[in-house]
């Protein structure tokens, strides 16, 4: 394969990857990329929220898009950051698709 053909193939792969990823509107880090799902997630599962834990906040479970389908991610504890509050992640409609906006600490 010629150098220009390899370059074209690399560009096409990057363009295809870009079509399936968007950056979150409020990412936990600037480098974070969120995959777009073609349909809405299922209803959230019922989770028993553990008793409060000093110095932590509960981050509820959510659906994650993985390999062409949704998989459940159980809730977990986030260590409290003084001066911030936890903004939970959520699914947001983006045109005909759905995108996961990750949870993050906000002032």
pTM of the predicted model over 0.75: no
In the block, residue with structure tokens 């906006």 = 101
pLDDT in tens, 63-94: 999 999 999 999 999 999 999 999 999 999 99
Residue 12: its pLDDT value, please?
37
Higher pLDDT, residue 96 or 5: 96
Residue 36: its pLDDT value, please?
85
Q: Is the per-residue pLDDT at 58 higher than 60?
A: yes
Token couple for 16: 């295809």
Q: Is the per-residue pLDDT at 62 higher than 70?
A: yes
pLDDT in tens, 5-51: 454 444 433 333 333 333 333 444 444 556 689 999 999 999 999 99
């Amino acid at each position: 394969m010629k150098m220009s053909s390899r370059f074209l193939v690399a560009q096409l792969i990057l363009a295809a990857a870009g079509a399936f990823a968007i950056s979150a509107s409020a990412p936990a880090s600037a480098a974070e990329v969120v995959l777009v799902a073609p349909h809405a997630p299922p209803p959230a599962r019922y989770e028993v929220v553990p008793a409060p834990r000093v110095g932590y906040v509960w981050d509820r479970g959510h659906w994650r898009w993985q390999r062409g389908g949704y998989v459940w991610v159980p809730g977990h504890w986030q260590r409290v950051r003084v001066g911030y509050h936890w903004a939970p992640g959520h699914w947001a409609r983006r045109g005909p698709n759905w995108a996961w906006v990750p949870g993050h600490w906000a002032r």
